[in-house]
Amino acid sequence: MPDRLQDKPLLLVGSVPGDTAEQVFRLVGPAIGHLMAGISDGEPGYRAKWIVFNAPQVFEPNPDLEVVNRPRARPEHSVFKDVPDWVPTTWEDMWRFKVRPGVRETRFKDLPYPGFARESYPVFRRLRDEGVIPAHTRFQVSLPLPEDFTRWCTGNASDFAIMTRAVEETLKRAVKSIVESVPPADLVLQWDVCWETMAAATGDCMGREPLAWKADGDPLERFTGYVQRLSPLVPEEALLGMHLCYGDLEHTHLVEPLDLGTCVRMANAAVGAAGRRVDFVQMPVPRNRTDDAYFRSLKDLKFTDTKLYIGLVHHTDGVPGTLARLNTFRRHYQGKFGVATECGWGRRKPETIPALLQIHRDVAAAL
């Protein structure tokens, strides 16, 4: 385990509410930058919707795809009048695509993520040179895995497979482009793993329309394949990690985790298949889980050189609630660890972030 993570007790999962990358860097860097290996640009602006912007930017222009459903136009009196028309406000309003008849393979143009990195990294470097961001802090980039792009906006196993294969090839180009723009020794690359986690937890039975269909193959094997094919593209000089997620729409899980068993199986599979060092894995802990049953599966973790960031920091019950979850966690895990929130902060109200930063500092001091 490289020393570069040994003394870093906090992980910034990714998104932070802010209008610009500079605003986010100036907010996070002085407050907790010295406690983290990397700081992201916060995924500002429309990127706070996480994956959805790829629907109008990447999928809709593709001639091999047909739009089945798109967000409806907002009437002038709508409570969503300030929300862009491409953003869905309900599941019924969600983007849906299907592959046109006769199409067996497709190809997407480049994803926008390398462009985001090219824009934000020079700002990061300037602020680090100025001392706003602590020296030796890395620039963090988060990339979703392939199913996160496609599972929510497709309607059957065949269309899902065609689109997901194409996304994976485009992600390979994106990773190569990012490591050309950001020196690997200055980079933390994090896989954001949401729909793959929910698929592994449910056996691909998402349960509700229009998601109540099963993809081909075993979901854990599909996830392992993505990690195996994509991770070797990340140079050894970079830090590589992953954030395992159950969704955070309105701070509610799309699938409620029963315990950490699914995350443990995925972490073991990923570390074993990555073809390079995996520096960290982050796992979520719901606010109401202070019980031993939730953490008991941690005994089955097989890695020793990968740091575990346990996502048990919650703004709503602050330091006391976080420490209660931490005390239970410590009964079941004696390896190297740090703490984080369950998910990114991008959809939080900006006025809650100073208190959340203080919670992180107080909990880090108690480790």
Residue 284 pLDDT grade (very low, low, confident, very high; cuts 50, 70, 90): very high
Residue 216 falls inside a structural domain: yes
Residue 280 pLDDT grade (very low, low, confident, very high; cuts 50, 70, 90): very high
Residue 7 pLDDT grade (very low, low, confident, very high; cuts 50, 70, 90): confident
Can you give the residue range of the structural domain that contains 353? 3-47+108-150+164-366
Q: What per-residue confidence (pLDDT) applies to 362?
A: 97
Return the CATH number at 311. Answer: 3.20.20.210
Q: By CB neighbour count within 10 A (0-12 exposed, 13-18 middle, 19+ buried), where does 298 fall? A: buried
Alpha-carbon distance of 289 to 286, in angstroms, equals 6
Q: Kind of pairing, strands 138-144 and 96-99?
A: unpaired
Alpha-carbon distance of 353 to 32, in angstroms, equals 12
Alpha-carbon distance of 192 to 196, in angstroms, equals 10
* Per-residue model confidence as pLDDT tens digits over 253-264: 677 889 999 999
Alpha-carbon distance of 289 to 311, in angstroms, equals 12
Residue 52 falls inside a structural domain: no
More confident residue, 38 or 49: 38
Residue 67 falls inside a structural domain: no
Residue 101 falls inside a structural domain: no
Total domains in the fold of the chain: 1
* Per-residue model confidence as pLDDT tens digits over 62-96: 999 999 999 887 766 665 566 678 888 777 888 99
Q: What per-residue confidence (pLDDT) applies to 86?
A: 83
Q: What is the mean pLDDT of the chain?
A: 92
Residue 120 amino acid letter: S
The average pLDDT across 230-240 equals 97
Residue 143 falls inside a structural domain: yes
More confident residue, 132 or 7: 132
Residue 55 falls inside a structural domain: no
Residue 129 falls inside a structural domain: yes
Residue 210 pLDDT grade (very low, low, confident, very high; cuts 50, 70, 90): confident
- Spell out the alpha helix ranges (H) of the chain: 3-6, 21-32, 54, 113-129, 146-150, 157-181, 195-202, 219-230, 261-273, 292-295, 318-330, 353-366
- Short-list 284, 308, 302, CA closest to 294: 284
* Per-residue model confidence as pLDDT tens digits over 19-31: 999 999 999 999 9
Q: What is the pTM of this model?
A: 0.94
In the DSSP assignment, the letter for residue 36 is B
Residue 292 falls inside a structural domain: yes
Residue 1 has pLDDT above 50, yes or no: no
